[in-house]
Amino acid sequence: MFLPILFVFSLLLSSTHASVLDFCVADYTAPDGPAGYSCKKPAKVTINDLVFSGLAIPGNTSNIIKAAVTPAFADKFPGVNGLGVSIARLDLAPGGVIPLHIHPGGSEVLIVIQGSICAGFITGATNTVYLKTLQKGDVMVFPQGLLHFQVNAGGSSALAFASFSSPSPGLQIVDFALFANDLPTELVVATTFLDAAQVKKLKAVLGGTN
Ligand SMILES: *[C@@H]1O[C@H](CO)[C@@H](O)[C@H](O)[C@H]1NC(C)=O
């Protein structure tokens, strides 16, 4: 008789505990745990933690990819911490490209606001390509962890917003992983079957060494 009562009591306690915090605004001043940021004390949370301003400003596309991503992820937007969501702005100048990349931590939903964008992803199981030129108002999904890209498909600037199923979806760009670090050229050649000359050229462009 005694044990079940204790069990119910401890369940009650733990569910009470779980409902103490309605949300977990990131506290950048406290140490991070294995699960991420510490939670700011609710009494210290302000509206400014819950609002991110800046996505009205076009990103600077004067760069090699002629594109810019302005993220509002948990490291810059404390309010999304713990909520399983985040958002980013994408600007693509004419000829702009968001190169082949993955988000290890979350799926993406992209909505085109202006211009047209050729977007696609490649499945992990069969390397099937799903590809579409998106117009204003079109929305496309990019499943978590799959390789994908966006290319400006028109002659004018394109604008899109991407939302994610994680406050910290992460970003790994394939070309940067291959050519922007000190992985020796011979190993890049051996593991990609690209020509050494091409690898050295891309390392020079992207700041890689070796
Ligand atoms: C955009 O970036 C380029 C290259 O870094 C820089 O020269 C330029 O001043 C920047 N433009 C603005 C408006 O910040």
Question: CB count, 10 Å around CB of 60?
Answer: 11
What is the CATH T-level fold of the domain 1-167, as seen in this structure? Jelly Rolls (2.60.120)
pLDDT at 33: 73
Q: Where are the domains of the chain?
A: 1-167, 171-210
How far is the centre of ligand 1, averaged over its atoms, from the C-alpha of 207 (Å)? 19
pLDDT at 163: 98
The pLDDT, as a whole number, for residue 143 is: 98
User: Residues enclosing ligand 1, CB less than 6 A?
Assistant: 60, 62
Residue 90 alpha carbon to ligand 1 centre in Å: 17
Radius of gyration of the chain (CA): 22
DSSP string, 56-77: TSPP---STTSEEEEEE-TTT-
Feature table: binding site for Mn(2+): 101, 103, 108, 148
Mutate to test the pocket of ligand 1, among 57, 60, 64, 91 (most ligand atoms within 8 A of CB): 60
Which residue's C-alpha comes closest to atom 7 of ligand 1? 62
Nearest to 54 by CA among 88, 24, 78, 82: 88
d(CA 107, CA 210): 34
CA of residue 113 to ligand 1 center, whole Å: 24
Q: What stretches in the chain show pLDDT beneath 70?
A: 1-20
Q: From ligand 1's centre to the CA of 59, what distance in Å?
A: 10
